Amino acid sequence: MFALFLSCKQPNLPKQHGYPFIEFPDREYALWEVQQVPYSFLKPSYTMMQSAGDEKYWYDLNFIPFNATLHLSYKEYRGDLELDTLMMDTRKLAYKHTIKATEINDRLINDSNGRMGMIYELEGETATSLNFFITDNKSKFVRGALYFNAYTTIDSVGPIVKFIKKDIDMMIHSFRFREP
């Protein structure tokens, strides 16, 4: 009895909550191109594209292992005024999360092919972690917004968001506009 009493030196503490181990898929990409759609890009092989309702050229890129969706919307515009409106709408959609966001980082997209756009990376307990737009500077505009399909907390999905953001960066940099 005396030995048993001396052997317990650590107090009993409740176990801390843990998060499951996340196994990330290999980074492989395939060209997503549909003849009637005026854009194409490299998408991660573990994702699936599906039409997003009645709007023409709107698609959802489903990140199946992570229960997340990148909603892609397409608009055609005529002139700088319409383009400015589309860009401001995207900015407003990103910045409406300032109530919950701890930080919003803007990154400019500008390349030698004439494409330009902006990526909005949101930090904190926001509904979306990433919004972006990209345009050909002529008449085509695509907006993207990443959402998880279930309630999440940033500490539990942080590594997943970081992983997905790299795949979305690849997608954006491989983005090509063309005539349908």
pLDDT tens digits, 4-53:
555 556 666 666 666 567 889 999 999 999 999 999 999 999 999 999 88
Output the CA–CA distances (angstroms, integers) from residue 141 to 24, 53, 161, in the order listed.
31, 18, 24
For the beta carbon of residue 118, count every other beta carbon within 10 angstroms: 18
Paired sense of beta strands 116-124 and 29-33, if any:
unpaired
Q: Report the chain's mean pLDDT, rounded to a whole number.
A: 87
Coil, strand or helix at 150: coil
Coil, strand or helix at 39: strand
**Residues 137-169: tens digit of each pLDDT:** 999 999 999 998 876 666 677 888 899 999 999
**CB of 172 closer than 8 Å to CB of 71:** no
For the beta carbon of residue 71, count every other beta carbon within 10 angstroms: 16
Nearest to 161 by CA among 60, 67, 20: 67
Backbone dihedral region for residue 8 (phi beyond 0: left; psi -120 to 50: alpha; all else: beta): beta
48-177: CATH, from 3.40.1000, 3.40.109, 1.10.3470, 3.40.50: 3.40.1000
102 HSE (CA, 13 A, CB side): 4
